[in-house]
Amino acid sequence: MKKLIIIPILLLIVSCKVKEKPLFVKVDNIVIVDATLETIELTADAYFINQNDVSGSLESKGIEVFVNDISVANVTSESFEVPARKEFSIPLKVIIPTKEVYENNKNGLLDGILNSIVNKKMKVQYKGTITYSTFGFSYDYIVDKTQDVNIKF
């Protein structure tokens, strides 16, 4: 009797695809959500396709944000649940304290900011790793996306 129960369970486990990592499609939609004298809030979306029959989790680890080629912040996020057999995106949000930006690079930063204001654009780069985990397997995705972002007053 126990063998009759174990066989269908084993067939179910074997038929599920687990070892394929989700496809990393792109990072896109880098936008300034809010800008004040104290902070600049940026968001971006990382797009994936999960072909697996099971879910997993994604975590952004050490994604560094550069504005006009100057490192200004790191993306911090909670772990995101990956849906099975779906296309999905995860938000990459960062809040940049403008005071720290001024203090970290006094030479050239003011020129870069003034140039950005005059041109109404700034170059934003997300660079780092996103890790997918499920059932003891983990895969890293390298993120390196640069985009000119419009500044709206």
**Over the stretch 3-50, which tens digit does the pLDDT of each residue have?**
555 555 444 444 444 557 789 999 999 888 887 878 888 889 999 999
The number of residues in the chain equals 153
Q: How many domains does the chain have?
A: 1
Closest CA to 24 of 3, 47, 2: 47
Residue 2 lies in a domain: no
Query: What pLDDT score does 12 carry?
Result: 46
Q: Strand 86-97 vs strand 39-50: parallel, antiparallel, or unpaired?
A: antiparallel
CATH code for the domain in which residue 74 is found: 2.60.40.10
Residues linked to residue 47 through DSSP beta bridges, in sequence order: 26, 89
Q: Is the pLDDT of residue 102 over 80?
A: no
Q: Is residue 3 part of a domain?
A: no
Question: What was the pLDDT predicted at 136?
Answer: 81
Asked if the structure places residue 8 within a domain, the reply is no
CA distance 79 to 22: 15
Helices (H), the chain: 2-15, 98-104, 109-119
Has residue 1 been placed in a domain? no
Q: Is 55 a domain residue?
A: yes
> For residue 11, what pLDDT is reported?
43
How many other CB atoms sit within 10 Å of the CB of residue 15? 8
Please report the pLDDT score of residue 130 as a whole number. Answer: 92
**In this structure, are residues 145 and 30 in contact, taking their beta carbons and an 8 Å threshold?**
yes
Range of the domain at 58: 17-150
Q: Is residue 10 part of a domain?
A: no
Q: Determine, yes or no, domain membership for 56.
A: yes
pLDDT in tens, 53-78: 888 899 887 899 988 788 888 887 77
